């Protein structure tokens, strides 16, 4: 919300239903569950379930599960973060300052993203962009402060 509250794990906890048909194919192509073997990932859908239970809980009055994932895919295309990094000459296999990554993303979001690093190494782990519960506008993200801003951050391919 606009007060900087993290929109996650709201009550009541939503029910996740296994995704099927075209939505399954769309998510499998565009929101890849890299931690898991593909067969297991498509069958059990652990990442999508986790993300849905964590974030969709806060907008379940507005979006049902299918609409939530459709919106997520549209927003992914609208804010193509990998393309944005590439435009700013931030490419996999090299290291960059926190500011370079942060500023590149901010050119497309016009607000503060949350750049996250792995705990065990100065390596880019995730870039978060934050929305109002209705996803009608971007808001500044609360910073997780997992990156050492004095060191370069490695962007793995």
- Model confidence at 4: pLDDT above 60: no
Query: What pLDDT does 100 receive?
Result: 98
Residue 112: pLDDT band (50, 70, 90) is: very high
- Give the count of domains, the chain: 2
User: 72 and 91 share a domain?
Assistant: no
User: 73 and 89 share a domain?
Assistant: no
User: 115 and 104 share a domain?
Assistant: yes
If 0-12 CB within 10 Å is exposed, 13-18 middle and 19+ buried, where does residue 141 land?
buried
- Model confidence at 133: pLDDT above 50: yes
Domain end residue (candidates: 30, 56, 78): 78
State which residues form the domain around 24. 2-78
- Model confidence at 2: pLDDT above 70: no
The CATH number that applies at residue 63 is: 3.90.730.10
- Model confidence at 14: pLDDT above 80: yes
Query: What pLDDT does 6 receive?
Result: 63
pLDDT tens by residue, 45-97: 999 999 999 988 888 888 899 999 999 999 988 999 999 999 999 999 999 99
User: 11 and 67 share a domain?
Assistant: yes
Residue 127: pLDDT band (50, 70, 90) is: very high
User: 52 and 64 share a domain?
Assistant: yes
User: 110 and 142 share a domain?
Assistant: yes
The predicted model scores a pTM of 0.81
Query: What pLDDT does 5 receive?
Result: 53
Q: What one-character-per-residue DSSP string does 78-138 give?
A: HT-HHHHHHHTT--TTEEE-HHHHHHHHHHHHSS--EEEE-SSSSBEEEEE-EE-TTSSSE
Query: What pLDDT does 21 receive?
Result: 95
């Amino acid at each position: 919300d606009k007060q900087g509250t993290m929109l996650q794990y709201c009550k009541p906890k939503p029910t996740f239903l296994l995704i099927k048909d075209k939505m399954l194919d769309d998510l499998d192509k565009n929101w890849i569950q890299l931690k898991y073997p593909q067969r297991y990932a498509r069958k059990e859908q652990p990442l999508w379930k986790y993300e849905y239970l964590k974030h969709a809980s806060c907008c379940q009055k507005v979006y049902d599960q299918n609409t939530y994932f459709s919106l997520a895919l549209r927003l992914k295309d609208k804010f193509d973060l990998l393309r944005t990094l590439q435009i700013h000459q931030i490419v996999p296999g090299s290291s960059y300052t926190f500011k370079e990554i942060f500023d590149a993303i901010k050119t497309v979001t016009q607000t503060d993203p949350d750049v996250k690093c792995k705990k065990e190494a100065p390596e880019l782990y995730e870039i978060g962009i934050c929305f109002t519960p209705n996803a009608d506008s971007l808001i500044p993200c609360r910073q997780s402060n997992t990156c050492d801003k004095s060191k370069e951050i490695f962007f793995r391919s």
